[in-house]
Copies of this chain bind each other. A is one copy, B any other.
Amino acid sequence: MHALTLNLMVQHLSRLDVSFAALSDPTRRGVLEQLGRSDASITELADRFHMTLTGMKKHVGVLEQAGFVTTQKVGRVRTCKLGLRRLEEEAAWIETYRQLWATRFDALDHVVAALIRKEEMDE
């Protein structure tokens, strides 16, 4: 395989690692849903999810690293908003898998149907 292609694949893979790991926590998914409705400060998010400021900062850091959130500090307030990554790669991976899955189980359906027909003919 061409070195550049391999390199891109590895980069792509590790980006999915980071993003799926970011999505594996209910608070972080909740924060994304919340920011989908309106921007919010770390303090507002901490209040809303019944969490310490330190805990919320950590979650926001994980989301920021995955590119899902950007933050901006004005004075003492750090405002969080949705980042530019819109889960397209994650959706694409899941879609590819679902198609594989469907093909695989369709094939199984055909085998089962053939077995049933054979049984009926043998009777």
Q: Enumerate chain A interface residues (CB-CB to B < 8 A).
A: 13-14, 16-18, 20-21, 23-26, 29, 32-33, 35-37, 82, 86-88, 90-91, 93-98, 100-105
B87 x A98 contact (CB < 8 A): yes
A82 CB → nearest B CB, Å: 6
Contact A82 B94 (CB under 8 A): no
Indicate how many identical chains form the complex.
Answer: 2
Q: Which chain B positions have C-beta within 8 A of A95?
A: 91
In the complex, chain B residues whose CB is within 8 Å of the CB of A104: 35-37, 82
By beta carbon, the residue of chain B nearest A84 is B105
Known: A94-B87, A94-B90, A94-B94. A100 touches B26 (CB 8 A): no
